[in-house]
Homo-oligomer: A and B are copies of this chain.
Amino acid sequence: MVRHVVMLRLKDGPTPQHVAAVADGLGRMPGLIPELVSYHLGTDLGLAPTNFDFAVVAELQSADGFLAYRDHPEHQAVIRDVILPLVAERVAVQFEC
């Protein structure tokens, strides 16, 4: 199993509209991409001032499953149309578990 973790910092901070746009866009992925075993996302709770604004934790059966998710046209459309215009910084890690 591969765990894929992403954190985003939004350009204008975690405004409700921008957070909702990212959450709504990515939240459609589990219904569209069968390689996703589990998919959790959410807005930072504000417990530390240096935190990023948003995180995604996805589980996939394999590295090939991750690549299928990454490159899926619906995912790429959300990245292009919703995420890239709103995001200042993105960090990611994929690890076996």
Give the docked Cα–Cα distance between A46 and B59 (Å): 17
In the complex, A24 has a CB within 8 A of chain B: no
The distance from the CB of A28 to the nearest CB of chain B, in whole angstroms, is 17
In the complex, A96 has a CB within 8 A of chain B: yes
How many subunits of this chain does the assembly comprise?
Answer: 2
Within 8 A of B (CB), among A40-56: 40-45, 47-48, 50-55
Within 8 A of B (CB), among A7-47: 7, 40-45, 47
Given A5-B5, A7-B7, A57-B3: A94 and B63 interface contact (C-beta under 8 Å): no
**Are B7 and A95 touching (Cβ within 8 A)?**
no
Across-interface contacts of A67 in B (CB, < 8 A): 47
Across-interface contacts of A42 in B (CB, < 8 A): 3, 93, 95-97
Return the CB mask of A62-92 against B: 1 if under 8 Å, else 0: 0100110000000000000000000000011
Seen from chain A, the residues whose Cβ lies within 8 Å of a Cβ on chain B are 2-3, 5, 7, 40-45, 47-48, 50-55, 57, 63, 66-67, 91-97
